[in-house]
Structure 1
């Protein structure tokens, strides 16, 4: 008789809590009605444009939203129409990000089924030259800690930058939490934008 497989070590509590929060965020995002999604997209476009004006940004990074994510389409239409220089992410091997300056020829499906624009591909460090980074998140907390989806693309990107622009996470209102678990590699953000407001977190350190 073969010896039984050794039991897997118990999952650390912070890992379990991150898993729980991500699951709850996915559930709530799936439950939004079409009307709620449209209202959230309009609110995001308004407050993201407000942030751009307040910071004086002429260049920024953002993302193309997947179904259920806070929708950035209306904001991106405004940003390109205003003449801002916009970079959008491309997933590369090793869970790294490159950046694309869209040329208006549409999108293709990239890694993880995420839409990526067609255009000039720039290295991951190119985003360090923009005036403002707008990034996705599953949740943020009132300390400025951001939680992604567990693959680490943005944490690696941010850690690689010699110059770090102001970074704001884009989330729904109920995804701003009092506190979320943080690990040493997690990158804090300077603020968050929701459909109802722009939040600035206290400087760290």
Structure 2
């Protein structure tokens, strides 16, 4: 087995383990995690003095960002949500509380005016989804490359935080040259900063 094949297989196994672990969470555990994660996200935004952030509308098995998005709207924090486009490209739409609609891959997305991917460069902070992260800041996504492509094209990259469960912070993950490291991770348990 070649290096590329071994790397792909390792990533597949990590993704499957994370999917299994997330799917096994009970509803009470999910609610506690959502509330704790919301507190951590709010603390990060306040500590950084961020008035504009990116976030995402979470899928059922992802760390739940819904309460944070509501808090941000109620507290004047501008939020951009991703919209997936053909060719694994991202656009952004302002989160205004309007109903989300299923986009590509069945992911809920806003339907408002689309801003180019480069709009993220003006943000104070980016909160992005991840399958897992490691203690060096290596982020493992779900394999489609939307965020890596978007981040690689920004002329200025705001501080980047992956939003994951504590069990998704691993000692080490395989990294490829195109992977964009994150500055930290936000979990229900903590805000972690990674060395740079």
User: Please, what TM-score do these two structures have when normalized by structure 1?
Assistant: 0.93
Say whether the 8 Å CA contact 2:73–2:96 is kept in structure 1: no
Deviation of 1:104 (Å): 3.3
Structure 1: gaps spanning 5 or more residues: 1-7
Q: Mark the structure with the bigger radius of gyration.
A: 1
Correspondence 1:31 to 2:24: yes
Correspondence 1:52 to 2:45: yes
Structure with a larger share of its residues in strand:
1
Q: Report the equivalent of 1:106.
A: 99
Aligned residues: 196
Q: Report the equivalent of 1:3.
A: none
Let me know the Cα RMSD of the aligned residues. Answer: 1.4
Other structure's SS at 1:37 match: helix
User: Please, what TM-score do these two structures have when normalized by structure 2?
Assistant: 0.97
Matches within 5 A, 1:98-177: 98-177=91-170
Say whether the 8 Å CA contact 2:82–2:109 is kept in structure 1: yes
What is the CA deviation profile of residues 115-134 of structure 1, one whole-angstrom value per residue up to 9, with x for unaligned ones? 01132210011011000000
Partners of 2:56 and 2:18 lie apart in 1 by 19
Structure 2: gaps spanning 5 or more residues: none
Q: Report the equivalent of 1:13.
A: 6
Deviation of 1:9 (Å): 7.5
Correspondence 1:75 to 2:46: no
Other structure's SS at 1:105 match: coil
Structure 1 residue runs of 4 or more that deviate by more than 6 Å after TM superposition = 8-11
Partners of 1:147 and 1:9 lie apart in 2 by 20
Partners of 2:2 and 2:183 lie apart in 1 by 36
Partners of 1:201 and 1:189 lie apart in 2 by 8
Say whether the 8 Å CA contact 2:73–2:97 is kept in structure 1: no
